Structure 1
Amino acid sequence: MPSSTSEPQPDHLQTLLQSARPFLRGQLENVDDRLPSLIAVLKSVGAGECWHKHGSFLDHLIDIYRILKLWGAPDAVCLCGLFHSAYSNSYVNLAIFDPSTGRDVVRRHVGDAAERLIHLFCVVPRQKLIHDDLLFRYSDESELVQHVNDSEKSLINARKGVFELEDEEWRRKIQSILPAEGIVMKHIKTGEDVNLSRRVVATFLLMTIADFSDQLFSFQDVLFDNSDGMLKFSGNDWATALWPGDGKPGLWMTSISRMGAIYTLIVREEQLYSLYSTSSNRDEEIELVTPPILQNCTKILTAKDQIEARDLYWEGVCEMSKRGLEGCAELLEGSVVRNSFVGEPHVVLGQIYLSQGRFEEAEKEAEQGLRLLLEWGSPWDKRMSWEGWVSWCRVLVMKAKERSWPQTSWGILNLGLVR
């Protein structure tokens, strides 16, 4: 039966679960002893009362912190994620701290390095930065794929002492878009120049990947007429986008995968640059980590595969009465083949296999689904929370290993405890 291209390893799965467990158990003080008090600060200024796409602003802030922490981002970047729109930004009106009077307050809570990132994140035109200046400069998908492959070879050669600085097309392009000395953007309110180092730009790209993965679902697809799955924010169907809509997974992964590939190019260019340059004032204290998603941000999901995989998944989970177990399994297997980068199709397929007594296959799919859910740190199917998906998936893994599955409705409802 179909599965993802990379098989989950038990030790790796346990490592992922160990990192996620404090979030699953609500033991946030075990992640950072400041975290409960920081969340209390956000609550005190009303973050829990603000609407935000898939819930409240407070939930979103905590989710972004969790995603970045699970990806291994530095503390300052994770804290930037926790407060990332606290002064408002170019996308949303969420100024829970006044940028003219509240910066000292935020700085006292998170420190200078994190507050600087928070402020920059809130004052730059992020749509222009991420989409116009980065994403849309790589409109040719084949070029982006080739550059990712070439950059890996360049890094391997450089570590052996072989540099081809003048002949590498991928480097010439990334350097033209994002020079070593950084770029200058315009403040979204004052129009003043805002200097951004290459590492800060990369950090904001990483945060946007986390940001979009946490909040986007079918509501935004309707709002912006994202029927082609390219997420260009070019539509304007404001009157017909009724929140929350049908709850279907959104068509955001193609755009995210392209962002991830560009992020990989920036990281590799920074690694190469550091091998032969000692220049200063480049925010080199900001570590650029690579998320485990999308095969460490090296794979691009085509829009066609994204759409077909999503539609097959949706039909598989919604049409059981018409299709039956075998028919739904076939749909989900087709979804996994087209998009092997999300966990939920594996999870639902694992449950079907359990119902059919196919325990070995169920274990394989459930473990794969669990691995992907833990790596993303957020759900693709946002009808249920990330914690809910992870907990359900762990139940499936446990029952598959036990080679048993309830044969009654009450037996299903009795599930829950994970050993």
Structure 2
Amino acid sequence: MPSTTSEPQSNHLQTLLESARPFLRGQLENVDVKLPSLVAVLKSVGAGECWHKHGSFLDHLVDIYRILKLWGAPDEVCLCGLFHSAYSNSYVNLAIFDPSTGRDIVRGHVGEAAERLIHLFCVVPRQQLIHDDLLFQYSNESELVQHLKDSERSLTNARKGALEIGDEEWRKKLQSILPADGIVLKHIKTGEDVHLSRRVVATFLLMTIADFSDQLFSFQDVLFDNSDGMLKFSGNDWATAMWPGDGKPGLWMNSISRMGAIYTLIVREEELYSIEQPQSSNKNRDEEIELVTPSILENCTKVLSAKDQIEARDMYWEGVCNVSKRGLDGCEDVLKRSLEKNPFVGEPHVVLAQIYLSQGRFEEAEKESEEGLKLLLQWGSPWDKRMSWEGWISWCRVLVMKSKEKSWPQTSWGILNLGLVR
């Protein structure tokens, strides 16, 4: 029978894999010739010795660089990700460089544009910026979804030369929250005014999406009592949050899907601004910073409800952890229902593919394993953090290979022997 995978989809998957391969092989010099030396600098100041949520601070910094690079972010933004909390910030105590004496050192390594972003990222009240000033202003998810639709229509019309009069509800709200000339926040240590352009705010929003997706899992849900999945950081269960906990996927996707939606609104508003005012020369707007949109969450246009996020996570957990109780058919059922609730993560597809392989359903296994691989490559980090991103990618590639070969081991030793991918 012919393969179930279309040629364009296969080509897209190969393109994603080629972008990720230098990270998978540890060939960082093929990403940026200076990257190995920059990682060495981070090692030399102790980043690998610092605890950070899901591992070491060094691991987290390199992961954020990788995610941003795979998303197509410009170099200065990726380098900001690589050093993003190096002076400490409003969330963490990780000053591996002294902000009063180390800025010249960091600037010498990453350049002026990246160091400026790093410094700003470390001195603004990010919880206030991302949550109070942006996310919580769109507490009504239906409003946010409608604004996504309206903004798409506005931009489509503007590109055709049919500019609207500029008083659409989505634009008025966004401009009230984030004016064209940016916003002013208070320095977290000195209390001085810090100006952030709209593009810098958007960049920090993108970095926070990467940051959260890399580090959050069930440990933080317990720590902040995130049982409703809204990630409000309102709880304070410091005594009962035993790290690392059960390792379940965290309930963070509702929050970052809303961040992604707001990011998309900003990107669209910035394009409309450039169409309306093509001769703008306001240097405070940082118009040289390119705003790229990741392919996650359907190019940051979908909002996953907190309810669907919780139900999908729980069904995935049931399917992946209770095979002996449910049997393969029962696990297949809950995994498929999990994907109906949350189609934006790869791991349920990967587990389904293994079920299908064990049942000799090779075409279905190929479809699921390739979809899982695509999503894992798009995210650049795992949703189920019990295994590393590299581990999930390599396992998924084994499943893709065996699906195409239409073979699967029939013994435990055969499973243990798996490993080589082509």
Report the TM-score range of the alignment, normalised by the length of the smaller protein.
Answer: over 0.9
Q: Return the offset for 1:157.
A: 0.2
Q: Return the offset for 1:163.
A: 1.2
1:270 match? 270
1:310 match? 313
2:360 paired with 1:363:
no
- C-alpha distance in 2 between matches for 1:134 and 1:393: 36
Q: Structure 1, residues 260-291: CA drift from partner, whole Å, max 9, x if none?
A: 00000000000000112132211011000000
- C-alpha distance in 2 between matches for 1:50 and 1:355: 42
Q: Structure 1, residues 138-186: CA drift from partner, whole Å, max 9, x if none?
A: 0111100000011001001001111113331100111110000000000
Q: Structure 1, residues 332-389: CA drift from partner, whole Å, max 9, x if none?
A: 1111111000000000010001001110000000000000000000000000000000
Answer yes or no: is the 8 Å Cα contact 1:212–1:252 preserved in 2: yes
- C-alpha distance in 2 between matches for 1:177 and 1:15: 38
Q: Structure 1, residues 237-257: CA drift from partner, whole Å, max 9, x if none?
A: 000000000000000000010
2:331 match? 328
Answer yes or no: is the 8 Å Cα contact 1:258–1:300 preserved in 2: yes
What are the within-5 Å matches in structure 2 for residues 84-233 of structure 1? 84-233=84-233
Answer yes or no: is the 8 Å Cα contact 1:8–1:368 preserved in 2: no
2:352 match? 349
Q: Return the offset for 1:8.
A: 7.9
Q: Return the offset for 1:128.
A: 0.1
Q: Structure 1, residues 194-220: CA drift from partner, whole Å, max 9, x if none?
A: 000000000000000000000000000
2:38 match? 38
- C-alpha distance in 1 between matches for 2:286 and 2:165: 23
Answer yes or no: is the 8 Å Cα contact 1:8–1:367 preserved in 2: no
Q: Return the offset for 1:127.
A: 0.1
- C-alpha distance in 2 between matches for 1:289 and 1:18: 19
1:58 match? 58
Identity, % of aligned positions: 85
- C-alpha distance in 2 between matches for 1:339 and 1:358: 23
Matched to 1:158, the amino acid is A
Find 2:291's aligned residue among 267, 278, 288: 288
Q: Return the offset for 1:11.
A: 0.8
Partner SS for 1:185: strand
Matched to 1:290, the amino acid is T
Partner SS for 1:342: coil
2:23 match? 23
Deviation beyond 6 Å, 4+ runs, structure 1? none
- C-alpha distance in 2 between matches for 1:26 and 1:313: 31
1:3 match? none
2:408 match? 405
Answer yes or no: is the 8 Å Cα contact 1:65–1:79 preserved in 2: yes
Q: Structure 1, residues 71-91: CA drift from partner, whole Å, max 9, x if none?
A: 000000000000000000000
- C-alpha distance in 2 between matches for 1:415 and 1:225: 40
- C-alpha distance in 1 between matches for 2:380 and 2:150: 29
Matched to 2:410, the amino acid is Q
2:17 paired with 1:14:
no
Q: Return the offset for 1:7.
A: 11
TM-score by length of 1: 0.98
- C-alpha distance in 2 between matches for 1:178 and 1:228: 28
- C-alpha distance in 1 between matches for 2:160 and 2:176: 26
How big is the alpha-carbon RMSD for the aligned residues of Structure 1 and Structure 2? Answer: 1.0
Name the stretch that deviates more: 165-174 or 188-197: 165-174
Distance 1:361 1:7, change over 3 A: farther
Matched to 1:292, the amino acid is S
Matched to 1:35, the amino acid is L
- Structure 1 alignment gaps of length 5 or more: 1-5
- C-alpha distance in 1 between matches for 2:294 and 2:136: 22
TM-score by length of 2: 0.97
Matched to 1:389, the amino acid is W
- C-alpha distance in 2 between matches for 1:125 and 1:153: 34
Name the stretch that deviates more: 143-152 or 6-15: 6-15
- Structure 2 alignment gaps of length 5 or more: 1-5
2:393 paired with 1:390:
yes
Matched to 1:370, the amino acid is L
